[in-house]
Amino acid sequence: MGVRSHILYPVFFLITLFAAANCSQYRVIDKELECEAVIDNYRTYYEIFVGGFSDTNKDGSGDLQGVIKRLDYLNDGKPNSGKSLGIEGIWLMPVMPSPSYHKYDITDYYGIDPKYGTMTDFEDLIAECNKRGIALIIDLVLNHTSVQHPWFINAKQAIKEGNTDDRYAKYYAKETMKITGKTWHKFETTPDGTQYYYEGNFSSVMPELDMDNPDVRREIAGIVKFWLDKGISGFRLDAVKYYYYGEDYRNIQFLKWLNDECKKNKSDAYVVAENWSGITSIQNYYEVVNCFDFGMSGTAGDIYYTVSGIESVTEYAGRLASYQKRVLGKNHQAILNPFVSNHDMDRAAGFLDVGEYRMHTAANLYMLSSGCPFIYYGEEIGMKGSRGTEPTDANRRLAMLWGDNDTIKDPKGSAYDRAKQTNGTVKSQLPKKTSLVNHYKKLIRLRKANPEIARGVIEALDFSEYTAFGGFISDYNGSKAAVFHNTGEKEITVNLQNYTDMNFSVVRGYAGKGRAVLKGPLLAVSGYTSVILK
């Protein structure tokens, strides 16, 4: 379902917006907001590395029961309690059996890694998510298997015996010579001395499947059906530009087939693809599948550039509007998927200081924008973790900082100095109104209370005489809301009549260091604060 088609079930609840405690001279605003609980695919997602999240059997590794145990923190199923973060979707990084800590090399596409628990645990998790209205999507790693997958072991044996036409030997992309532009590894030698190589662009332990093989396609269709039948809501597709490495057109054709397979089993399945590429490539993939908006993320992304003042908020809003326009031009039902960092990137709190409200401001930018924002676990408490001089992504996937008696440990291979974790834990932040976690909580509530933000068509406004101030109008089937960001330190007052014909009558809420006040057409917004007007 897309931008223009979904069902709304109106409910009403009270949302209480507090002025930041360090701005106690501002009055506290209590405002009743009509909130719509929405049954569609526009959700706030939370990405979980299960192995680093929460440990219930005290072996130091996170597990599925740990995710279940922590659901009350994520979404307690009571929208009025104000006690949980309020996320509406979970992306689980791979849960299938795998020899690695990160599990991006699968040995069984129909199972659960024993470190994480059992299939019964997974079914329990689905049931708990359903109770709370959380959509559960799982990582689907199809480009390559593990070298320990029985398919690969059988393939090796078959080639060794000279059976190069064996079913499993044909599962893998193999050649008798190393073709330029791709990475090849020694597969096996036939009895007549022919050396075969397999494609492994990521790693020698990640052999790539031959996506043209009808048996592989049937296998993939079976895997998709198996998990959707379990009751999950969809998939995050890993490394989609590697299906046919360097061939966007063939990847897009394959993704159309794969997305159709998902929709065949579940018509409203949510499928989001990792095409870690430039915007031009990403927008072309949007024609057939939703993608992550990599242009926003990381230390070269729009969010970092805007929060750091390298680019103006007007440039940011303009880019957001033009990106959305290009994507919707490819597919009018497409949904954007903004984020600031994920498991493959240095954690955002390392490059955006929490004390200086840069993380709060970054959260304002991507949480108050179109589509499904994705929060990487721990981001909401300003957890740090970066590669630094260590050549390992384990530093980016450290144990969640609960601050309670969780026995979760950092993954094997990580070497991040714990003394650098200066932003506190879930336990230390929850009682503090101005903490990052409570800021995220507020942003999620604002998103829910203002469906225009996620679902509307964006029109950027021109505030180009400011660097740190700007905004846009989001038009959802004629219902309009506007978002204004102040990414700088100083309060800014603008006369909105000079920038738009839209008349605003109500502050729907604000989030950040300070407050926002609307008097007639005059809008005053404190530093590091964003506001929603209608």
What residues act catalytically?
238, 274
Contacts of residue 462, defined as CB under 8 A and 6 or more positions apart, other chains included, come to 314, 499
* CB atoms near residue 436 (< 10 Å): 22
- Minimum CB–partner distance for residue 276 and Ca ion (Å): 14
Q: Is 247 in the site for Ca ion (CB under 5 A)?
A: no
Q: Which is nearer to Ca ion, 161 or 215 (CB)?
A: 215
Answer whether 86's CB lies under 8 Å from 444's CB.
Answer: yes
Contacts of residue 190, defined as CB under 8 A and 6 or more positions apart, other chains included, come to 159, 160, 162, 164, 196
3-class SS string, 46-99: EEECHHHCCCCCCCCCCCHHHHHHCHHHHCCCCCCCCCCCCCCEEEECCCCCCC
Q: Which is nearer to Ca ion, 160 or 178 (CB)?
A: 178
Answer whether 430's CB lies under 8 Å from 437's CB.
Answer: yes
Q: Which stretch, 57-65, 161-169, 456-464, 467-475, contacts Ca ion (CB under 5 A)?
A: 57-65
Q: Which stretch, 102-110, 154-162, 201-209, 449-457, contacts Ca ion (CB under 5 A)?
A: 201-209
Sketch the per residue contact string, 14 through 53, with Ca ion: x for CB under 5 A, - otherwise. Answer: ----------------------------------------
Considering only CA atoms, which of 91, 406, 62 is closest in space to residue 238? 91
Q: Which residues pair with 199 in a beta bridge?
A: 184
Question: 153 — phi, psi (to 5°)?
Answer: -60, -45
3-state secondary structure of 375: strand
Structure-block tokens of residue 145: 């298997």
Q: Which is nearer to Ca ion, 186 or 420 (CB)?
A: 186
Answer whether 166's CB lies under 8 Å from 155's CB.
Answer: yes
Q: Which is nearer to Ca ion, 211 or 327 (CB)?
A: 211
Q: Is 105 in the site for Ca ion (CB under 5 A)?
A: no
Q: Is 59 in the site for Ca ion (CB under 5 A)?
A: yes
Task: Report helix angle 436-449 to 358-367, nearest 10.
Answer: 20
- Minimum CB–partner distance for residue 211 and Ca ion (Å): 7
Q: Is 55 in the site for Ca ion (CB under 5 A)?
A: yes
Q: Which is nearer to Ca ion, 399 or 460 (CB)?
A: 399
Total residues in contact with Ca ion, by rule CB under 5 A: 8
Q: Which is nearer to Ca ion, 55 or 346 (CB)?
A: 55
Q: Is 184 in the site for Ca ion (CB under 5 A)?
A: no
Sketch the per residue contact string, 131 through 170, with Ca ion: x for CB under 5 A, - otherwise. Answer: ------------x---------------------------
Q: Is 242 in the site for Ca ion (CB under 5 A)?
A: yes
Task: Report helix angle 248-265 to 214-230, nearest 10.
Answer: 40
Q: Is 61 in the site for Ca ion (CB under 5 A)?
A: yes
Q: Is 57 in the site for Ca ion (CB under 5 A)?
A: yes
Q: Is 208 in the site for Ca ion (CB under 5 A)?
A: yes
The binding site for Ca ion (CB under 5 A) comprises 55, 57, 59, 61, 63, 143, 208, 242
